Structure 1
Amino acid sequence: MTRKATIRRGAEVLWEEPPAHFGAYSKMLIRPENADTGLMDFRISSYQPKGFVAPHKHSIQEQIYYILEGEGLMEIEGERTVVQPYTVIHIPPGVSHGIYNTGMIDLKFIVVTTPPDDSIE
């Protein structure tokens, strides 16, 4: 079986507001629906001031967040920490987490999730 590589420009992908996200938008750049992957979800997210996703957990997925612009609060297991550009966050499966834009400009960050299942508990 031959696998197919993907090259995609960000402007080719529409912004979406995922379920349970508020003022929080993502471009789903690499997912099983648009690329030859069954192992990952790669997206860029932009949360407007006051935008957030409330604390939740994923049963089998792990995630990495990488902050590009803006500032906000990352909540992990009830503890909130300020995040700014160049901050990296690793979230193992089963760990409660949420992120809030408490800054004055959009909070932009990359999210890598594996496996790419979207379930939120």
Structure 2
Amino acid sequence: MIERNGATIANIVETLWQTMPAHYDAHSKLLIAPQTGRTKHFDFRISSYQPKGYVALHSHKVQEQIYYILEGEGLMEIDGERHVVRRHDHIFIPPGVEHAIYNSGLVDLVFLVITTPPEDT
């Protein structure tokens, strides 16, 4: 990683995969987040869900989230309705909306997630 005056350049392989709470057969790399010490205002991660992987249905009190699908396909559940999501789809989740994402496809579902403000850890 290169750092200068708070700005950073890093390669994805420099960050280890983590399994977050309530995520099943699903892993994330926290690329830029308060946990990495690089920001206070948002959480930017890449996630990879294996077939059958999912995050349990949940909502956030104040956080907004953006999902951007890079590879694979699956189902995004929003307030009880499931919708097919695939490469290049983007999803916006406002605060208070129940949501979950499931890899119902045959290959890994890979997507970016941006959350603001970041959740307390």
The verdict on a shared fold, with TM-score over 0.5 as the criterion, is: yes
CA distance, structure 2, for counterparts of residue 33 and residue 49 of structure 1: 28
* Length-normalised TM-score, structure 2: 0.93
CA distance, structure 2, for counterparts of residue 118 and residue 97 of structure 1: 19
Task: Tell me the secondary structure at the aligned position of residue 50 of structure 1.
Answer: strand
In structure 2, stretches of 5+ residues that fail to align are none
Task: Tell me the secondary structure at the aligned position of residue 56 of structure 1.
Answer: coil
Q: Could you report, residue by residue, the CA deviation over 1:51-98 in whole angstroms, capped at 9, with x for unpaired residues? A: 001210000100000000000000000000000000000000000000
Is this contact kept in 2: 1:6–1:35, CA < 8 A? no
CA positional deviation for 1:45 = 0.2
Identity of aligned residues (%): 62
One-letter amino acid of the counterpart of residue 63, structure 1: Q
Q: Select between 92-101 and 33-42 the one with higher mean Cα deviation.
A: 33-42
Output the aligned Cα RMSD. Answer: 1.5
Number of paired residues?
Answer: 118
One-letter amino acid of the counterpart of residue 64, structure 2: E
CA positional deviation for 1:34 = 1.6
* Length-normalised TM-score, structure 1: 0.93
CA positional deviation for 1:118 = 5.1
| 1:80 counterpart = 2:82 | yes
Which ranges of 4 or more aligned residues in structure 1 deviate by more than 3 Å?
A: none
Is this contact kept in 2: 1:60–1:115, CA < 8 A? yes
Q: Which has the higher strand share?
A: 2
CA distance, structure 2, for counterparts of residue 118 and residue 66 of structure 1: 23
In structure 1, stretches of 5+ residues that fail to align are none
Within 5 Å, give how 1:35-114 maps onto structure 2. 35-114=37-116
Pairing partner for 1:17 from 16, 19, 32? 19
